[in-house]
Structure 1
Amino acid sequence: MIAAVGSNGYEARISELAGLFARAPFDEDGWDRALKALASHTGSARAQLLALGDRHAAFNWVTDADPHYLAEFEEIGGYRADVNYRVATTRAPLELSWEVHYAAARAVSTNERFLDYVRRHDAEFGVQMTLSQRPGVLFGLAALHGENEGPTTEAQREVFRRIAPSVLEAIRLQDTIEHQGAALLSGSLESMSTAAILLDAVGKVCGMTSAAQALLGPGTLQVRAGVLHARRPDIEQALQRRIGDALAGSAGGPADIWLRNGDGLLLLDIRTLPRQDWSFGFAPRVIVTLRTPLAIDRHAAARLAEAMGLTLAEAEVVALLAQGHSRQVVARLRSVSVQTVVAQLRTIFQKCGVNREAELVAIARTVIEMVSR
């Protein structure tokens, strides 16, 4: 039972709840604990915290939700205003929306699939608020009511309204912590001279090394409004598709996006970074590495030829394999057939006394590391 607004017990609960959110960025399971307390104090089945991007949900956490709840939300496009009546009722930051607003939105347009979804998951009613909105992403908080809880009461909405500023401050603190992690990752990549661009959970550039910056330009890649773009339409389409797959965690296989960089080739490798528990999407989610294989490894190939008794052509093949390229990519970079690379490898195996490509690569990487010191 929620205490009357203005009573000492009520104020004590608001203070306790604010304290839980203040500690959430620092405590293990702190956010889950604070959101469950919010659900309890508003008589709700569950509480929800989410960030919606232009194309993707950066995060969407619902306490005590069915395992299929979030996956189905993504599948039906629940972040879209034409699907989700809650998104359609989004108001200015720190303004409440609740059942009266949901009913108005559903009277104009009702997505039956989404309505069936929230009813099956017992989350048709509730109260929500946009906490903040910046270009490309909206941060929202909600208390979800099902059939058992029924529509929200005025007292429950007042608790929700009172605690929202504390939740926003906690999110800002989480933002600071995650951006510090992004800076540390960028610094590590910088020290390794890696040409890398980091993207957050909604696809915005959140970090870039100087080596990557040097490779950007009108003929390769550009950053516009915080988003990575390619000039050529076909490359742009492939780039955005790969980034979208990586954001969704469904990118698979080696990168196959090639750009012409001056007189050489530039290979883009787009991969999903490991997701951390309770990451708000500020931390890097995708890494785009840019490689100029032959330009980088000519010196290494010369050293490999000397150390391993290979011709320069054979050493270039080994150097490219040591970078992680497949035989098909090696053939393309050297403008020869895959059969030629396979034939060269037979000779290289004999010269180096190995039977497998993995053994050869291990030796080559050791040699490259020694001569690079």
Structure 2
Amino acid sequence: MGRDRDETRADDLAGLFARAPFEANGWDTALKALASHTGSARAQLLALGERHAAFNWVTDANPTFLTEFDTIGGYRPDVNYRVATTRAPLELTWEVHYTAARAISTNEAYLDYVRRHDAEFGVQMVLSQRPGVLFGLAALHGQAEGHTTEAQREVFRRIGPTVLDAIRLQDAIEHQGAALLKGSLESMSSAAILLDAVGKVCGMTSAAQALLGPWTLQVRSAALHAVRQDIDQRLQARIAAALTGLDTGPADLWLRSEDSLILIDVRTLPRQDWSFGFAPRVLVTLRAPLAASHVPARRLAEALHLTTAEAEVVMLLAQGHSRQTVAQMRKVSVQTVVAQLRTIFQKCGVNREAELVAIARTVIEMASR
């Protein structure tokens, strides 16, 4: 009878996790049930990146429990004995492993942290690992609960595969949202790069792809980097701030490409409750007067019956550049630009540059809507 009851409770718990991606507060409900089934004060589900936690959900936790975790570097194995004892996916570690790790090296700041929050003991399981991020499930015990029992650890063994399946389902749902957002940005001809909760590139428009190169930006190990080291340091600082939800300030990161300038803007995207970090968390937009504006130039050419080269000249003038600057950006002589303008004036039926710019700005504004 006892075993049948345990199996029934395990089946009920598995059902809660299976429904979690589809129900409001479904993950919170399932985690609280897991805490109850394992005699734990709190249950925890988290994803650890290389530099910070992508998310860290702990049921019924004091808010300082989460903020202090990041402050002391709780995602690092040299700090957190729980992280140091992680094993292969779906294998358990518990107090006996924690004790062994602490005998080798004890981080006093982390030990003080878990004791103050009454979470020194427990059992945990790595659910999955992918490059740059680890997903883990844990039951946290304090002094009142003491060490976990074999029966409580058996709950973890049974529920682990079901929780992993639910995470994969949540992954698919969030990636679908990322694809929809990327499609919307693509339709607006935006040069945009999407980053997930651990700062990895999870989407990029074709306009942004066109701006990457040996002189500007590159994606290395799924992370976005500026080629110039000084710019990259500032870019990484902006990305780190955006990942934590901080305002990154005005766009003022400039890169010089082979034929133009690129302005980089980094912004935090609105966060959703119970997001696993697969969904885009940061939007990086690139603005270049020439290379990033190939679609407006094409539309300008169509509207005014110009060649692509002529349309690019008009577009740069409409952005306020002088004829000398246009010549430099296009790597031609000023005389060439003047000769092109004579043809452009004739095609557009104007006599002055100001008239041409006014027409061009109207076309660009309409094409951008």
TM over 0.5, shorter chain: yes
The code of the aligned residue for 2:67 comes to A
TM superposition shift of 1:263 = 2.0
Question: Residues 4-38 of structure 1: CA distance to partner in whole angstroms, max 9, x if unpaired?
Answer: 4xx11111111100000000000000000000000
Name 1:9's counterpart in structure 2. Answer: 5
Instruction: State the partner residue of 2:68.
Output: 72
Determine the structure 1 residue equivalent to 2:348.
none
234-243 vs 19-28, which moves further: 234-243
Corresponding residue for residue 250 of structure 2: 254
Moved over 3 A (4+): 293-301, 312-318, 365-373
Residue correspondence of structure 1 range 97-246 to structure 2 within 5 A = 97-246=93-242
In 1, distance between residues paired with 2:49 and 2:26?
Answer: 24
**Contact 2:194 2:280 (8 Å CA) reproduced:** yes
Tell me which of 87, 92, 98 is aligned to 2:88.
Answer: 92
Picking from 18, 21, 26, the partner of 2:17 is: 21
Residue identity in the other structure for 1:254: P
Q: Aligned partner of 2:225: which letter?
A: H
**Cα distance in 2 for residues equivalent to 1:315 and 1:95:** 63
| Contact 2:18 2:166 survives alignment (8 Å) | yes
Q: Which residue of 2 aligns with 1:348?
A: none
* 2:46–2:137 CA contact under 8 A, matched in 1: yes
Q: CA deviation at 1:272?
A: 1.1
How many angstroms does 1:251 deviate by? 3.8
Q: Letter of the aligned partner of 1:100 in structure 2?
A: V
Report SS of the residue matched to 1:64.
coil
In structure 2, how many angstroms separate the alpha carbons of the residues matched to 1:372 and 1:169? Answer: 43
Q: Which amino acid aligns with 1:193?
A: S
Aligned residues of 2:289 and 2:319 also touching (Cα < 8 A): no
Cα gap change, 1:111/1:204 in structure 2, threshold over 3 Å: closer, same or farther? Answer: same
- 2:40 is the counterpart of 1:44: yes
Distance 2:278 2:316 in 1: 45
Q: CA shift at 1:195, angstroms?
A: 0.3
Contact in 1 for aligned 2:267/2:283 (Cα 8 Å): yes
User: What amino acid is aligned across from residue 275 of structure 1 in structure 2?
Assistant: R
- Report how many aligned residue pairs link the two structures: 317
Q: Which amino acid aligns with 2:150?
A: E
Listed one character per residue, the Cα deviations across residues 291-317 of structure 1 (whole Å, up to 9, x for unaligned) are 01466499799x9xxxxxxxx999646
Whether 2:280 is the aligned partner of 1:276: answer no
Q: Compared with structure 1, are the counterparts of its residues 126 and 366 closer, same or farther at alpha carbon in structure 2 (3 Å cutoff)?
A: farther
Taking a change above 3 Å as real, the CA distance of residues 51 and 366 of structure 1, as seen in their structure-2 partners, is farther
Q: What is the letter of the counterpart of residue 51 of structure 2? A: R
CA RMSD of the aligned region, Å?
2.6
Aligned letter for 2:168? R
